[in-house]
Amino acid sequence: MIKRIVYGLGALALLLGLYGFYSRLFIGEREVNYGSYVTWGLWVAMYLFFAGISTGAYMLATLDHLFNVRLFKGAGKYALWGALVTMPAALITIAFDLGHMERIWKVYLSPNFGAPMAQLVWGYTLFLVVIVVSLVLTLRRPQTLSTKVVMSIGLFLAIFLSGGVGALLSVNASRASWHAAMLPAQFPIFSLTSGVALLMTLLGWFTPDDETRQQRVRLLGLAMIVLILVKAYYLWVDYSVALYSGVPDTARAVELVLFGQYAWAFWGLQVALGMIVPLIVLVQPRLARSGFWAGLMGVLVLVGFAVARSNIIFPALAIPELEGLTEAFHGPHLNIDYAPSLMELSVVSGVVGLATLAYLIGVDALPFLKKYEVTK
């Protein structure tokens, strides 16, 4: 039943996305709201979001295929499949953000490896290959040394790439609220959290309701409680340091999130829906063992993460580099108040739809995913 609803929602999301895909591919970037001052918008935030889920899901796959955790035997392939469908979702969203996406090959042929972006492009390509190889190996030779070696490389890449998106932001010394070594250090934890959330949903909703599932989602739920608390601590550290320092640019970005134009999304979606509700539900053993509730909490945490990614990106860019710059000259895409356009939202909806359908079709059509086996 849940699967059918998710199929329907995925199809609807994709349908809503067709307009965005058409507009971006055939008209260009004219209907987007990001620009020359708020240089990166919803698509960059969603790229961070999807890439985080992918790398996080891979980290969890290692519970099965690298660390041999008995409880997660057989669950690794679902995590790997999740990683495989979310990484392209990340790459589509970021490709749409490029002014010249048809030139992406230049990053392969004449890369500047000193630039975090080039490192990431190469890293993701390698990572995609590693996910595919991991899947093949885990199916054919699950317990061999070669599988473990590949999974170890994958784990290292997953951590490096999740931290890399933090570096992409924190190298910008001109954006005070990003320019902290803490940022790349936090991102692998964020990725792990979104990986746990994804697996809660996948196992909770799309695997048979038996004792193993109850134990698995319960364990993931406990991990989630810890991770949400760690995330809350990071928020506190980031925001209190920024506000306490009194440096206006840092404080202003935080004030925009806490009390300004993005406050509703922060308090309503990121904190209440994405952190407090899951905490309340998951501390109750009965609910935490239920596949439905665990899956739903996974989705809520993911929604919270999507908003959190946005709240890292837009507010930091909404502070002009020079006072008075935004009033000095006017024209399209020279705004400082950013809210995603309908077309940007449509593209994201389409990508979510694509990833959702790809996951479900894989689970239903690919023989190795159809077969659900657990080790007692």
Partner 1 sequence: MKQVLQNQQKASADVGRRNFLRALAGAAGAVTALQVLDALEAAPEQVAESLVPQTVTEADETADVLIRMQADLARALKKQPSERRWVMVIDLRKCVGCHACTIACVAENKLPPGVVYRPVIEEEIGEYPNVTRRFIPRPCMQCENPPCVPVCPVHATYTNAEGVVEVNYEQCIGCRACLTACPYGARTSDFGYTYAEGTPNADGLILGRDAADEYERAPNFEYGRPWPREAHGSPMGNARKCHFCLHRVKEGLLPECVTTCIGRATLFGDANDPDSVVAQLIHRPNVIRLKEELGTQPRVYYIV
Binding site for partner 1 (CB under 8 A): 28-30, 35-37, 39-40, 97-101, 103-104, 106-107, 110-112, 114-118, 121, 168, 171-175, 317, 320-325, 327-329, 331-334
Nearer Cβ to partner 1 (106/141)? 106
Residue 320: helix, strand or coil by DSSP? coil
Return the structure tokens found at 159. Answer: 């951590």
Beta carbons of 117 and 168 less than 8 angstroms apart: yes
Nearer Cβ to partner 1 (71/334)? 334
103 Cβ neighbours under 8 A, 6+ residues apart:
none
Q: Rounded to an integer, what distance in angstroms lies between the CA atom of residue 31 and that of residue 28?
A: 8
Minimum CB separation of residue 318 from partner 1 in Å reads 12
Q: Rounded to an integer, what distance in angstroms lies between the CA atom of residue 342 and that of residue 43?
A: 12
Nearer Cβ to partner 1 (85/165)? 165
373: left (phi over 0), alpha (psi -120 to 50) or beta: beta
Cα–chain center distance at 94: 12
Nearer Cβ to partner 1 (111/142)? 111
Minimum CB separation of residue 128 from partner 1 in Å reads 18
153 Cβ neighbours under 8 A, 6+ residues apart:
130
Minimum CB separation of residue 173 from partner 1 in Å reads 6
Minimum CB separation of residue 261 from partner 1 in Å reads 20
Return the structure tokens found at 24. Answer: 């971006």
Distances (CA, A) of 229 to 41, 120, 226, 353: 28, 29, 5, 30
With tokens 């809210």, the residue in question is: 339
Nearer Cβ to partner 1 (35/362)? 35
Nearer Cβ to partner 1 (168/223)? 168
Minimum CB separation of residue 356 from partner 1 in Å reads 27
Beta carbons of 120 and 175 less than 8 angstroms apart: no
Nearer Cβ to partner 1 (35/74)? 35
Minimum CB separation of residue 180 from partner 1 in Å reads 16
Q: Rounded to an integer, what distance in angstroms lies between the CA atom of residue 357 and that of residue 361?
A: 6
Beta carbons of 10 and 356 less than 8 angstroms apart: yes
Nearer Cβ to partner 1 (96/305)? 96
Nearer Cβ to partner 1 (33/215)? 33
10 Å CB burial of residue 211 (0-12, 13-18, 19+) is exposed
Nearer Cβ to partner 1 (119/212)? 119
208 Cβ neighbours under 8 A, 6+ residues apart:
372
Distances (CA, A) of 86 to 65, 157, 179, 255, 355: 20, 16, 28, 32, 6
Residue 163: helix, strand or coil by DSSP? helix
Minimum CB separation of residue 189 from partner 1 in Å reads 24
Minimum CB separation of residue 181 from partner 1 in Å reads 17
Minimum CB separation of residue 171 from partner 1 in Å reads 6
Minimum CB separation of residue 62 from partner 1 in Å reads 29
